[in-house]
Structure 1
Amino acid sequence: MRIVQLIDSLEAGGAERMAVNYANVLANQLEFSGLIATRKEGLLKEQLVEKVDYLFLNKKKLVDFKAVFKLRKYVRKHKVQIIQAHSSSFFLAVLVKLTLPGLKIIWHDHYGNRIHETKKKHYTLFLASFFFSACFAVNLELQTWILKNLKAAKVFFIPNFTIESNSIVNKTYLKGEINKRIICLANLKNPKNHITILKAFNNTKLNDFSWSLHFVGKIYKDDYFYQLKSFIDENDLEESVFFYDSIEDISFVLSQASIGVLASKYEGFPVSLLEYGNAGLATISTDVGFCSSMIKDGYNGLLFNPEDSEVLKEHFLKLAFNDELQKKVGMNLKADVLKQYSYVEIIKVIITKYNYIINE
């Protein structure tokens, strides 16, 4: 089989990480595995393995005929059978299919808040769906939304997975005291809800006990970021809250933390929870999207409503002063991730779907 992942950028984000993960894993499974970035390159480009065939289109506008014909040429040259278009990259894939009718498109949806939006808001997506051979959804709610609102005949729930990258140099060292670090792995933007984490951490006064809070994710230097900085300054948290921007050595950084937290107001299937699990972190998670299916409250993590900083505060205190609970939920999550979200098993399912779509 000859499969290509299509993604708008390679900046560090959930959908982008999954596009890279798919390309890397499939490179050892298929005859041909490619990855194409349409608009922007980024940090994740360095994580592509050598066997992945990479192309950057440098797309400049919504309908960029230069990019369309460049992609069309690539598809023909490499005899690509399926373009797996992640998130908003579907439009370019459809434009190419109009000139190559035999090409199959799988649209891969990662956008958790779509379930609260109408078909009318996504009319372009609705029209494009007539050209999709299948859709992959990262949670069951998205699968239901697609079945209800789009025209794709086949819609599959495919959970996310993580893989280790052996080529990344360990170079990012967290500040603060060992065994007393809380980490949030999420780009600094809506709907990641960092302010609720800050408020809860401040109210615990854990910094008086040498605990520190670490935000790892792309910093956009916008109003969202400066709101967080203002809160930190107003509450004298400069010596206990730290920002790191995007990093490559995620596994190494997580190994330096004790507690992982995610507070998003909506999610699809957050890769960060899988990464917390791989690291064996005691995890506190928002209860939106697939999070409440993955995290079993009190067993492999703690759940909270993202609007409720008081419950998050209590969860912080519960874990910070209970090493036994920290260890229990962290190890249980690690075991669940290895058992249920191993790329080895999930990729077998995916290849079966590819075969089905190609041969229909």
Structure 2
Amino acid sequence: MPKKEIRILQLIDSLEAGGAERMAVTYANALHQELGFGALACTRAEGMLKQQLLSGVVYTFLARKNVFDFAALLRLYRLINQHHITHIHAHSSSVFFAVLLKLLCPSVRLLWHDHYGKSEMLEQRPFWTLRIASLFVTQIIAVNQQLVHWSKEKLWCKKVTYLPNFTLPDTSVAVTQLHGTMGKRIVCLANLRPQKNHMLLLDVAKVISQSHPEYTFHLVGKDFNDAYAATIKATIVSYGLQDTVFLYGSCDDIPAILNQSTVGILTSDSEGLPIALLEYGFYNLPVVVTAVGEIPEVVTHDKEGFVVPKNDSLAFINALQELLDNPNLQATFARQLNEKIVAQYSSEAVLKSYLKLLDEK
């Protein structure tokens, strides 16, 4: 167990709904419960996830205007001193701002949490700025093994560890009412980004709407109002799926949504370790997912769900149809995935390893 004087600040650029953002909030809440102190600073833009911070978690919005915003840096510096912060846990791109703080507070230890979602495309990832930043980082935490190997090969911080994402019970107020029929809903928690491959999802939905017309698809995730989102909406119309596929945008009441759902799916081309998958398991949904990132380590094919090759619509359709046709299989997959999530991806399991990292010299 770490020394009691360890006080950890989570640093994140925004609190919009996203995987890294949700993990920053989850860590702050979990550490508040475990150690009696949790803190989070948001550098650039607040968002709906602010509401999920537990009462008692120290929170500050830095209102950073640019990378070298000295006023925001001074606010962070004061926060560090006021609360005797010993460690900054910087998530994703917030590490660059954390490095500036490290120059002012050399004694503060800096952890960088790499949530990079395109782990199937790492050869395209720029690394020189990260390489320089890594000189100031004490420990890198990666959300899958591909990112561990990449960091060890490309960056100058050699203390690199894989830690799985984890979930905490969510106490958000239920407000979202899904369309469709209870027991016949297929949900996808994924922001509208190209690597999530919603076009594959729509190809699947087009076939399922014919073979299983009573089922509906429910897409929950941030709409960036860009060309990709416009293509999704246009394809829904061109496929005639207006009464089958529904878009909800970002939602704050994920437990309520999952409790209304029957099956969870992910059609991604690339992932790190998706929080959505852990939430599917935590809330007892059977799943059909693609074999990308850390997903095959979480879901054993034909035991805790169906895992199919990425961008293979036929394989995805066949797996989903088999699952929809077999309620007993749905119950078995849901139970076995839930047991695995609780055992391996709970806060208790992950925090033990995390706190041990912080005690290392």
Alignment partner, residue 40 of structure 1: 45
Partners in 1 of 2:286 and 2:213 — Cα distance? 18
CA deviation vs aligned residue, 1:237-258 (integer Å, no higher than 9, x gap): 1111111111111011101111
Which residue of structure 2 lines up, in the alignment, with residue 148 of structure 1? 153
* Gaps in structure 1 of 5+ consecutive residues: none
What SS does the aligned partner of 1:285 have? strand
**Structure 2 equivalent of residue 57 of structure 1:** 62
For the structure 1 residues 153 and 27, does the alpha-carbon distance in structure 2 shift closer, same or farther, using more than 3 Å as the test? same
- The letter for the 2-side match of 1:84 is H
Per the alignment, residue 73 of structure 1 pairs with 78
Please give the alpha-carbon distance, in whole angstroms, between the structure 2 residues aligned to 1:318 and 1:68: 54
Superposition deviation, residue 112 in structure 1 = 3.5
Spell out the pairing of 1:329-344 with structure 2 (5 A cutoff): 329-344=333-348
Length-normalised TM-score, structure 2: 0.95
- Write the deviation string for residues 41-65 of structure 1: whole angstroms up to 9, x where unpaired: 0010000001110011111112212
Tell me which residue corresponds to 2:307.
Answer: 303
Give unmatched runs, 5+ long, in structure 2.
1-5
Q: Percent identity?
A: 39
What residue is the counterpart of 2:105 in the other structure? 100
Partner of residue 22, structure 2: 17
Q: Is it true that 1:321 corresponds to 2:317 in the alignment?
A: no
Q: Within 2, Cα distance between the matches of 1:258 and 1:66? A: 49
**Per-residue deviation at 1:349?**
1.5
Q: Confirm or deny: 8 A CA contact 2:119 2:293 kept in the other structure.
A: no
Which of 131, 149, 153 does residue 136 from structure 2 map onto?
131
Deviation of 1:118 after TM superposition, in Å, equals 4.9
Task: Note closer, same or farther for the CA distance 1:266–1:29 as it changes in structure 2 (3 Å cut).
Answer: same
Matched, 1:91 2:103: no
Q: Counterpart of 1:148 in structure 2: which amino acid?
A: E
CA contact (8 A) 1:163 1:343 kept: yes
Q: How does 1:196-275 map to 2 (within 5 A)?
A: 196-206=200-210, 209-275=213-279
Q: Judging changes above 3 Å, is the alpha-carbon distance between structure 1 residues 262 and 120 closer, same or farther for their aligned structure 2 residues?
A: closer
| Shift of residue 117, structure 1, vs aligned partner | 3.2
Residue 121 in 1 paired to residue 126 in 2?
yes
For residue 297 of structure 2, what is the aligned residue in structure 1? 293
Match of 2:282 among 278, 281, 292: 278
When normalised by structure 1's length, the TM-score is 0.96
- C-alpha distance in structure 2 between counterparts of 1:115 and 1:77, whole Å: 41
Whether the 8 Å CA contact 1:302–1:315 is kept in 2: the answer is yes
- Partners of 2:261 and 2:346 in 1: how far apart? 23
Deviates more, 1:114-123 or 1:317-326: 114-123
Shift of 1:263: 1.1
SS at match of 2:256: helix
Quote the RMSD (CA, aligned, Å).
1.5
User: What is the distance in 2 between the residues matched to 1:225 and 1:157?
Assistant: 32
Corresponding residue for 2:182? 178
Contact 2:120–2:270 (Cα < 8 Å) also in 1: no
Code of the aligned partner of 2:294: F
Q: CA 1:45–1:82 in structure 2 vs 1: closer, same or farther (change >3 Å)? A: same
Aligned in 2, Cα 1:95/1:119: closer, same or farther, shift over 3 Å? farther
Check 1:209–1:203 CA distance in 2 against 1; reply closer, same or farther (3 A cut).
closer
Q: 1:121 offset after TM fit, Å? A: 1.9
Secondary structure in structure 1 of the residue aligned to 2:304: coil
Distance change in 2, residues 1:141/1:117 (3 Å): closer
8 Å contact from structure 1 (residues 119, 126) kept in 2: no
In 2, the alpha carbon distance for the partners of 1:346 and 1:158 equals 7
Q: Name 2:165's counterpart in structure 1.
A: 160
In the other structure, the counterpart of 2:198 is 194
Task: For 1:77, give the aligned amino acid.
Answer: Q
